[in-house]
C-alpha cells in the first residue's frame, strides 16, 4: 500500500521528498503529473497526498477536492523561504507522525 503520494513538478525534488518520507518509516511514491496523481488516487491505496508548492494552483485545487472526496488527507505545500527538504522535515513528517500513518 502506498500511504503517501507526493506530487511535484521536478522529478529530482519528488524523488528526494519520497526518500525522506520513506526514511521516516512511511510508504511513499512520487509523481510529476496531475494525471498520474489522479490515477494513483483512484486505485485507493493512498492515505495522504502531498502537493508540492510548484504545482499549478488550479489543477492542484481540483486534485485536492478529488482526494478529499475519496477520504485522502491533503497536505498542500506553500511557496516560502524554506527548501522543499526543510518543509518536509519541519511540516510533512511531523504531520504524518501525528496522524500515525506508519
Which DSSP string do the residues of 35-89 spell out, in sequence order? HHHHHHHHTT--SEEEE-TTS-HHHHHHHHHHHHHTT-EEEE----SS-HHHHII
The domain defined by 10-99 folds into: 60s Ribosomal Protein L30; Chain: A; (3.30.1330)
* pLDDT single digits (tens) 12-47: 999 999 999 999 999 999 999 999 999 999 999 999
Residue-level pLDDT at 20: 96
60, 27, 100, 90 alpha-carbon torsion, rounded to 10°: -60
Q: Is a pLDDT exceeding 60 seen at residue 65?
A: yes
Amino acid at each position: 500500500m502506498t500511504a503517501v503520494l507526493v506530487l511535484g513538478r521536478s522529478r529530482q525534488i519528488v524523488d528526494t521528498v519520497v526518500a525522506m518520507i520513506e526514511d521516516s518509516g512511511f510508504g511513499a511514491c512520487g509523481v510529476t503529473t496531475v494525471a498520474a496523481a489522479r490515477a494513483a488516487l483512484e486505485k485507493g491505496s493512498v492515505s495522504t497526498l502531498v502537493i508540492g508548492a510548484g504545482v499549478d494552483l488550479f489543477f492542484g485545487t481540483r486534485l485536492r477536492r478529488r482526494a478529499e472526496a475519496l477520504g485522502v488527507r491533503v497536505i498542500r505545500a506553500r511557496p516560502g523561504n524554506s527548501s522543499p527538504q526543510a518543509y518536509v522535515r519541519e511540516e510533512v513528517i511531523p504531520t504524518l507522525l501525528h496522524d500515525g500513518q506508519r
